Each structure stands twice: as C-alpha cells, then as structure tokens.
Structure 1
Amino acid sequence: MTMALHIKPSLNDWLIKLSNIEIPAMQYTLDQMTHLKSKIDDISIRDLSQLIRHDPLLTLRLIRFQQEHRRAVQTSDVNTVDHVLLMIGMAGFFREFSTMPAIENTLHQSPSALISIKKIISRSYLAARIAESLGGQRHDVDPVEVITASLLHDLAEILLWLIAPELAQQIALHIQRHPGSRSHDAQKLILGFTNNELQTALAQHWHLPALLTHLMDERHIDEARVRTVTIATSTARHLVHHWQDPALPDDYQNIADLLSCDGDHAYALVRNVMIKAAHEWSWFSVLPVASQIPQQ
C-alpha cells in the first residue's frame, strides 16, 4: 500500500491511488456502531450523527456514498451528515458501513503512523468543536456545514499517513529540523504540492459537495464562513503542540475579530471547548489538550 519513496508521484497519481483504496474508520468508531446497531429501535438519527462526526474518514465515506448514489432528480448537494442519514435511513447506514475496515488493521505494521493518524483525527474533531462554537456565536446560516468542513479540512494529511507514512514522516522531520519553516513549504518539497492542493483536487475528483469544497478552500479566506473553518482548524493545530504555542495569540485575535469580541472572550471560548472535548479523549486514545491548560 505504501508508495515507493524513490519516485515522486504526480498529483494525478495520488488521486488515482487514493481512489483505489478502501477508506477505513477507527476501531472505536466501529465498536460504537456495533453498539448502536444492537439497539436500532431505540436510537435516533441524531445519535448516529453524533457518532459519525467523531471520525472524519467515516464522514468522508458517507458523503462520497451519497454523491455516488444521488438520483437524477436530486438537483442540489447534501452537505451535512444529518441530511445524508435522512436520505439513506438508519438501516441503510448500517448495511453500507458496518463492515468498514479498521485503521488499526490497515496500519498494524506501522504503529507510529497509527499514532499520528489518531492525533490528526483528534485534532480534526477538536477543530469541528471550535467551529461549532464559532458558528453558533456568529449565528451562521447553517453551523453544521462549517462543522463538517472543519472535520474534513485535514483529510489529505490523514490519507497521507494512511498510504504513505514514510513521506508523511519526512515532512514532519523536515519541519522539526528547520524551526520556523512553514508546513506548506515542507509539503511542497517532499510531495511536489501542498496538502491543501491535494485536498482541493481530491474534493473535485470525488465530486464532494461544492459548498464543502469551497468552505475548506483557504483561497476564499475573505469570506466569513471560510474564515470560520480556517480559524478553527488553525487553532486546533496550534493547541495540540502545547497550550503556550506562540501562534495561539494570533488565533485568539482572529477569533476576536471574527466575533467582534475581546481577546479574553476568545480565550474563554477556546478553553471551554477544550474542556468539553476532553471528556471524549478515549475515542481517539490521545491525551486531551485540556490536560495542558494552566491552572488559574
């Protein structure tokens, strides 16, 4: 499954490679699916939706499934997990997705890659929670759309660790050995393109909903909804480094500008999200960011 390191695949090569693999989910996600399936008569669409939003890979497969099976009479995209579930039903969901492979099995020979993927998935969930809070305070037209876009924002990075962990490790080591270097530059050096470019190309290749693709595209940063997604993912990325990351003050200021509030309110918002997200650390087997919060 791993790409050869002596050849630098083109962006199109990556699209073909990623389109020919079966996307897995976390084992914990699959275990929760089994639990909910056992009491299908007592659960709701919301219960399933809450499960799915923890796992960006399952979310991706669900949205791709809907796009691939959309009917000719469907004239608009379905942009949220809830709406997809309403269309395929709970029984349809379990029928199609209960047999997904587990990341743990896919990467059983690459334990370091498995740890890295779980950290990124945990970070993606954290970004979605931050986006949920920002969208709620902004009275966004549909906060679930920015939540979904934030959850999927770093899919290219997750998929890189999944099928080419050596290349992903090269990028991580380059950044580590060159303090102050930008991740985009390291990606360009190792891959020949950035994760954002791969992400945009994948979204178009897989015909993901145009709105979600747009919300994840940082080239449209002048739009408030795109800025919400970008700020949420940036803040989550810096938080997982450590609570005193030097880039965080800029994140708080960006939040303050977005919400027209002061810096203290922005910090409190992020801190509250961290504490809530920490209660679900076992889903990802990753130490929660809230454990690093300085005592007041």
Structure 2
Amino acid sequence: MSPQSPLPTDPDAWGAFLCAVPAPILADTAEQLTELALLEERFGNVDAHMIADAVRGDPLMTMRVLSHAGRHRGEHQVTEVQTVTAAVVLMGIGPFFRAFPPAGLRVLEEELRTGADPQRLDEAMRLLERAWRTARVVTEFELQHGDPHAEAMQGAAVMHNLAEVLLWWRAPEVARRLGRDPDEDRQRELLGGTLVELQQALMSHARLSTLLRQLLPRPHEDEHDPERGSLALLRPQRRLLALSATLARRAELDPPAGLALEELEELAQWLALSTPAAERLAIQALL
C-alpha cells in the first residue's frame, strides 16, 4: 500500500483489500510444490494427499486453495469444500498445478525481507508460529475427542490469525500501530472494527466454507444470529479450538502460562477426562 492510498475504514473493506491480491506463500511450501510438480511431470504419480500434506501447514496457501475451490464451485455442487484434500480432489492434479504453478507463486519471506524493516518478517513469523502451535494443540485435543471435523479444525486453526499476518504483508504501518494482542478499543480505532470481525470478513471475501467460518470466533453472537442453530451444534469444536488458541497464545508469555482452572475444567468436560488428565494433555500438546 502506498502512502497516498486511502486506508480501508471498516472490517469488510479490509477483508476485500486483503483478498484483492493473491497472497505470497511460505518458502517451504513453494519448495515442496515445486518438487511435486516435477514429480507429476515425470511420473504422474502425485495424489491429492501429497499436495495437501505440502499445503495444510501454510495458512496462506491453505486460504488460496480453499478460496479457489469456493470461487469455482459448480452450479450443481451443493456441498461446500471444507478441506485442502477435498479441494485438490475436486480440482484434479493437473488443474491444481495449472491454477498454482510453483514458478509463479510469490514467497512471503522474500517479500517481507526486502527493505530495511525486519520487524515485518519477525512479527509475521511469530503469528505463524502461534497458528502452528494452535493446530498442534487442537490436533491433540481432537484425537481425544474423536471428531469427524478434525481436518477442518486444523485448517481453521492455522488460519485463525491470518488477517494479522496479511496486515504485516499489505499494511505494515497499521499492523505496527496495532501491536501485539491489541485490545478492542485499539482494534476499532485502527480497523473500524475488531480483528474477529476482520477475520470473518476476510474469510467471507475469500469464499471459504460456512463450516470454517463458523469454527472461528464470530462477532455479535446472540439470539438473532441466523446461524445460531448450527453454531450450537458446533459448540464442542468451537470451544476446543478457542481453548487451543488461548493455550498457544499464553505459551508465548515469559514465563509461559497455561489454561486457568476453569478453562481446564471446561476442557476436561468436553474431552470426558478428569481435570488433572486434561491439564497433562494440555502440557503434552505444547511439546
């Protein structure tokens, strides 16, 4: 964004702005996709699971793949695409590499490393580390919970703070003024709304599935929410994801902190464990 460009003034406008340009992806993802593209060209034996394994740990590429699937749904396709694996199966291997040629994918580390501002890359990677930690924690919880939405939960986990990562890419001056874990007053001052609202707007503009949007925090959840019924059905998954994100964030503190007693008791209830067992699982999930 140039200094002359007007800043968006509300979360919906920010969501549109952050989706307006294809996001760069992580260097490791670009390298793995390059290798898979060569493998497919030579031997034709790449499958959807191999591509999903390369993509699902990258919030940026995860969003791009799911966004592509959402934007190219057939008129007779009733079911939304909720996972990277399903998106690649739907696209096909050849069309996937035509839609995302590795040589044409920009790399986040290279873009944020340019210039004299190392904070951009450092802060983006800190947020990505938090997302990966959240995904690891929610995976451990889901193994105990035994849930059919496990892969979608992982996708939601790695993308739960994607809006902040994208702010460091496209609007670093705003991200810098927000600071780390800003309160809602600060968020409203700089974004015209909260980060929760911005994340939801981003996912809506990216055409991500209803399930993924419902798994993440939503603003203004009340009796008038048109999705109240389906949100109630997803309450265990939503709370496990929220507790995972809380645990991942507190692990960054010095010294690191865990879940509070009431949070551990809630976790124990959802996982049908004793509170001490839930605490041990929470500690183990961070290792």
TM-score (norm 1): 0.80
Of 153, 157, 167 in structure 1, the residue corresponding to residue 160 of structure 2 is: 153
Tell me the residue number matched to 1:266. Answer: 278
Whether the 8 Å CA contact 1:5–1:167 is kept in 2: the answer is: no
Q: Any idea what SS the aligned residue of 2:252 has?
A: helix
1:120 pairs with 2:127? yes
Following TM superposition, the consecutive aligned residue runs of length 4 or more in structure 1 with deviations greater than 6 angstroms are 3-6
Whether the 8 Å CA contact 1:156–1:196 is kept in 2: the answer is: no
The CA deviation at 1:56 is 0.4
Gaps of 5+ in 1: 176-181, 276-296
Tell me the residue number matched to 1:287. Answer: none
Whether the 8 Å CA contact 1:235–1:251 is kept in 2: the answer is: no
- Greater shift in the superposed pair: 14-23 or 113-122: 14-23
Listed one character per residue, the Cα deviations across residues 121-166 of structure 1 (whole Å, up to 9, x for unaligned) are 1211221121122122112132112111112111111111111112
The CA deviation at 1:24 is 0.8
Gaps of 5+ in 2: 222-230
Percentage of pairs with the same residue: 25
Closer, same or farther: CA 54–18 of 1 in aligned 2, 3 Å: same
Tell me the residue number matched to 1:106. Answer: 111
- Greater shift in the superposed pair: 57-66 or 186-195: 186-195
Q: Any idea what SS the aligned residue of 1:266 has?
A: helix
Tell me the residue number matched to 2:216. Answer: 216
Tell me the residue number matched to 2:176. Answer: 169
Name the CA distance, whole Å, in 1 between partners of 2:209 and 2:123: 28
TM-score (norm 2): 0.83
Closer, same or farther: CA 248–142 of 1 in aligned 2, 3 Å: same
Name the CA distance, whole Å, in 2 between partners of 1:43 and 1:268: 39
Question: One-letter code of the match for 1:102?
Answer: V
1:77 pairs with 2:84? no
Whether the 8 Å CA contact 1:235–1:248 is kept in 2: the answer is: no
- Greater shift in the superposed pair: 85-94 or 223-232: 85-94
Higher relative contact order (CA 8 A, sep 6+): 2
Listed one character per residue, the Cα deviations across residues 100-126 of structure 1 (whole Å, up to 9, x for unaligned) are 111123222232111111111121122
Name the CA distance, whole Å, in 2 between partners of 1:121 and 1:246: 20
Tell me the residue number matched to 2:58. Answer: 55
- Greater shift in the superposed pair: 231-240 or 6-15: 6-15
Whether the 8 Å CA contact 1:239–1:248 is kept in 2: the answer is: no
Name the CA distance, whole Å, in 2 between partners of 1:213 and 1:158: 18
The CA deviation at 1:257 is 3.1
After TM superposition, the structure 1 = structure 2 runs for residues 85-96 of structure 1, keeping only pairs within 5 Å, are: 85-96=88-99
